[in-house]
Structure 1
Amino acid sequence: MADSAIAVVVLAAGQGSRMQSDLPKVLHRLGGVPMIGHALAAARSLEPEQVIVVAGHGAQAVGKAVARLDPDAAIVLQSEQLGTGHAVRQTLTELEGFEGKVIVLYGDTPFIGEDTLAALSGHPADVVVLGFEAEEPGRYGRLVVTDRGLERIVEFKDADAATRRIALCNSGVMALEAGLLRQLIVRLGNDNAAGEYYLTDLVALARTEGRRADVVTCDEEETLGINTRAELAAAEAAFQARARRDALENGVTLIDPGTVWFSLDTAIGRDAIIGPNVVFGPGVTVESGAEILPFCHLEGCHISSGATVGPFARLRPGAELGGDVHVGNFVEIKNSVLDEGVKVGHLTYLGDAHIGEHSNIGAGTVTCNYDGVMKHRTEIGARAFIGSDTMLVAPVRVGHEAVTGSGSVITRDVPDGDLAIGRARQENKARLGLRLMQALRLKKDKG
């Protein structure tokens, strides 16, 4: 990383019409988060003083998403989309007084790596452009390099036949000193085939000032841009392949890697075991030695060492599982803390609850946490036993080592060590069951 201060500008103003969507392009999901989240995460790897996002189409929605992903990022508006140079010019007010290097990234180019960004930020040239050797250069802009460094960048539509034969292509990512940016950005013109203000023209302007421009190269896959649904699907496949590979290399066991789906921020410790058909939404941490059995969906949760989850379990945001907790099949947990050794075997919903250590939650238990307006909490003490089919009507507390009878509706607190039974008294009507069934069968036969 460079010694000087860093500011990162993320361009996210385009409409993305080829996506055939009302959603701004940078808000389409990739790895469980809006694709702009990848650019913001890469930016933060540089520990920048400032992150500035340029929004345009769908600016309100983009701003809300950025606020969730990176609350410290600033948002500026590009009301007219007049090119990348025009977009960066909108950041000058935010950059006023900043002295350091500015790096320009793109919200629809999600795979720029941390090492590549470090090479850009640490390069001594006045202007540094990120380039790549393309197998099929197609319509990419070309980088014209000589022994004096980067001479110029030529957009495909403005290139002659000889220039189009160059394989070194422009990713659009650029780094330059803030003072030089302020000096040159106001001199950009739009005398080109598209009538736009190209950020790439800063190279030629810098050369006229006697400044050196140069190129840092990376693998082509890092520069993958997303413009269509097909490219988004291909990017998702690339992201998942890399995430699975990284997990395996870091000591995680994936029983069937191709069926496990990761999010951008999924964190799994070594010696964890992940079964087939597991989906990790955003915000999941799995500690070393935990096991996730098949067909689980997890989001916004933490799973401690020694815990087992599943199969067919769902952990929602705020679920916190302590060590050696067991969550079984068809269990849903939301905004609840399960202390060490808790067992929730099957067919249970725990929402807005705290379960004390080594308690057992019987099948069919439900914390009735919502009254139609407000959410309420359920507290269950340590070593409690909750009988099957217990309805816990919150707010309610079940004490340490307390027991609820199966089929109970618990509406009042249960003191430590008590047995609570809250169900209707059973009555047996002699022979009535047999007579009722006989009558129903006769009715069926006549009808």
Structure 2
Amino acid sequence: MSAPTPAPDLLRIATAGSVDDGKSTLVGRLLFDTKSVLADQIDAVTKASVDRGMDTPDLSLLVDGLRAEREQGITIDVAYRYFATPARSFVLADTPGHVQYTRNTVSGASTAQLVILLVDARSGVVAQTRRHAAVMALLGVPRLVLAVNKIDLVDNPGEVFAEISAEFNQITASLGYSSDQVQEIPVSALHGDNVAIRSENTPYYDGPTLIEHLESVPNDVDRGRAQDGEEHLRSVGLRFPVQYVIRPRTPEYPDYRGYAGQIAAGRVSVGDEIVVQPSGIRTTIAKIDTADGELETAHTGRSVTLLLTDDVDISRGDLISSVTDAPEPAQQFTATVCWLAEKALRPGARLLLKHGAKTTQVIISSLDALFDEQDLAVLDAPETVELNQIGRISLMTAEPIAADDYQVNRESGSFLIIDPQGGNTLGAGLIGDALAPLHLSQAAAV
């Protein structure tokens, strides 16, 4: 058997911020400073910048690829970029800043382990800053970076940076973040100050550059937000949604029965006892197959085929879990949903719910609360949940769903709500009450 290949140190990050805060320029600067851009791309950007009458290359052109984005000078869709340094590899989701594209921001940040939230030093913390910080907290993003951009364009930059940082820290503290989960950095994306190179123009700042922070920050794959002021390690057992049952039925493999999918959480080894949900049947892992050969152990993110010691009735959509912490299947539960559709969500709606590889019918039993991201408040019993709004709802599914609370595990605690007629995605859901910390903060304030 071949030994498992060590997973590369990969950090998933995203950008967020208001319009014209300089997100695309910052991403372009990251690509440029890490030498992740081809020479002909730089030449094309330089030529386009000269044609626009600019003295220096407009690095935002490296990422605003859509024609509408270039015409308007804004980011519309989520763009994924890849770059690396000697210390670490990165996948970056560059998300929109307009409020009407909040749903795109949710999509881009949903898998992020760290989000860079930009603020224009001239404007400070604005409504969209509060909105994005709140969305990141609800999504369970473990770490935030406040990049105070265009710091070279303000008088008394040290004082401005301190004021913006203090206001932002007050917001993030109310959302459940501890001080070691938030890093503030003054930058100039246009000139590269404190992005890859420490700037002499910010003597009031003695912290890391953005690249240094991204290289050194702990890779929080298994960490959640702070609870009671201390960061906690989430220990989650195996979560393996079955995507396909493999039965070759050939003379070479007359008795082969494998269950293919991607490990959503935890690890699995030959000889492990597992439980199949929702049936609750227990058995043991006999073999782990991959395209590269057999493995003794496989970890989160690996696509594998599991063979079991017993003949068990398993189909697509079932969940193979570790025995010690297997989620209890349920048909009624509470969830937090970000609504992505033009047509509002109302109580009694009959839709489809997709969790992992399982799709089942669902009824929206009630709309319990609506999140006001500006006041960081929770409003009870709304009549509807509109486009880009976030609310707490109660659901009832036609079949049992074996899911974790989202705050325990993001992968096995999330789902999609789908239009049964057109097949369009209507909402992104998080199992459990992600708004609970906000209820607590409100009660404490009172």
Task: Identify the TM-score tier after normalising by the shorter chain.
Answer: under 0.3
Q: How high is the TM-score relative to the length of structure 2?
A: 0.21
Q: How high is the TM-score relative to the length of structure 1?
A: 0.21
Higher RCO by CA contacts (8 Å cutoff, separation 6 or greater): 2
Tell me which structure has the larger Cα radius of gyration: 1
